[in-house]
Amino acid sequence: MKLDSIELLQLRMPLVTPFTTSFGTQTVREPILIRVRCGNLVGWGECVTMAEPLYSSEYDDAAIDVMRRFLAPALLTADNVTARTVSALLEPFKGHRMSKAALEMAVLDLELRTRNQSLADYLGATRTSVPSGVSVGVQDTIDDLVTVVGGYLEAGYARIKIKIRPGWVEEPVAALRREFGSIPLQVDANSAFSLADAALLRRLDDYDLLLIEQPLYDDDIRQHAALQRMLRTPLCLDESIVSARAAADAIALGATRIINIKPGRVGGYLEAVRIHDLARATGVGVWCGGMLETGIGRAANAALAALPGFTLPGDISGSDRFYRQDVTPPVRMHDGVVDVHQGPGLSDEPIPDVLKELTFRTEMIGG
Ligand code: NPG
């Protein structure tokens, strides 16, 4: 198809509670939504960059700039744009995977709506609901952590992930084991440690964690392999895995036994499926990560997580874990699961009034 226009809409969405990771505290999320048009057909995508380049080198203003100046024009001038051709059309531009993923999402959404097909069906999902895990930020005190985690367990979440950083490692894990016994528990360091911390991280072997996520710097693949040889607990890579090629290297080097798949980080849902297929073929477990998505990305992630190789619960919580008001009808967690969207496209469409209220910046390209 030939696209008529690509519109970028940036929303301001306050978080229900501040979210603290090893790289800082977020109190608001400003997601960039993509609206593509072809005739009277519309497709929606979501860019998962943050305001600052702290998780990776990508950030909101850079995403808007690269989409406006390079990526959107490349799609608008192409004669035949389909979800399968987007990544090849954008390949000449280096990096910017989150922006590329967002555009591919919007084209895929439009295509699936035209065909009246759900993302789950298109990707080959084998489940109609997926276990819902929750990611818990660093808290001020251990008591606060126990209270917050207790609340999520009470609500029915199937797995708890806590953020760790220097000074917040063994004590919080020990407290949760003491308080809640053998709950499914994992930790995420967001690259906050170095190999010199191996002894500290090895202490976590006593707590029967599902995994330790991204302890070292994102390009320390060989060092992750060295660390894995010192630990019983499986290592899981997130930031390091930016493509199926990177995944193949990390698996071959023994740097990861589990992969956190985030479609934004790897350039889109189609590349995410390639990583899933590779991991499945090599006996590596995968789960679907989250980037505080709105209902658009959240529903799409649930469809991806319904593929057979997703063996661990993902960071796919209900909308209300982060937002009082989602831009789509809320994604709900019930009985420890999130239901997979069965309607056409990636998700429910944004609610027009809510979209209008939350949007503070728009940019029309083409059209
Ligand atoms: O449930 O959407 C969610 C959040 C899961 O902890 C989560 N995400 O490092 O995985 C991460 C972290 C993150 C969020 C990283 C936003 C960067 C931006």
Percent of the chain having pLDDT more than 70? 100
pLDDT above 80 for 144? yes
Ligand 1 centroid vs 104 CA: distance in angstroms? Answer: 21
Ligand 1 centroid vs 291 CA: distance in angstroms? Answer: 4
For ligand 1, atom 13, name the residue with the nearest CA: 291
Active site residues: 163, 262
pLDDT band per the 50, 70, 90 thresholds, residue 367: confident
Percent of the chain having pLDDT more than 90? 99
pLDDT band per the 50, 70, 90 thresholds, residue 233: very high
For ligand 1, atom 9, name the residue with the nearest CA: 190
pLDDT in tens, 275-299: 999 999 999 999 999 999 999 999 9
Residues contacting ligand 1 via CB (< 6 Å): 50, 55, 135, 188, 190, 238, 289-293, 315, 317
pLDDT band per the 50, 70, 90 thresholds, residue 15: very high
HEC per residue, the chain: CCCCEEEEEEECEEEEEEEEECCEEEEEECCEEEEEEECCEEEEEEECCCCCCCCCCCCHHHHHHHHHHHHHHHHHCCCCCCHHHHHHHHCCCCCCHHHHHHHHHHHHHHHHHHHCCEHHHHHCCCCCEEEEEEEECCCCCHHHHHHHHHHHHHHCCCEEEEECECCECHHHHHHHHHHHCCCCEEEECCCCCCHHHHHHHHHHHHHCCCCEECCCCCCCHHHHHHHHHHCCCCEEECCCCCCHHHHHHHHHCCCCCEEEECHHHHCCHHHHHHHHHHHHHCCCEEEECCCCCCHHHHHHHHHHHCCCCECCCECCCCHHHCCCCCCCCCCCEECCEEECCCCCECCCCCCHHHHHHHEEEEEEEEC
Q: Give the mutation target among 188, 241, 292, 321 for probing the ligand 1 site: most ligand atoms within 8 A of CB.
A: 292
| Average pLDDT of the chain to the nearest whole number | 97
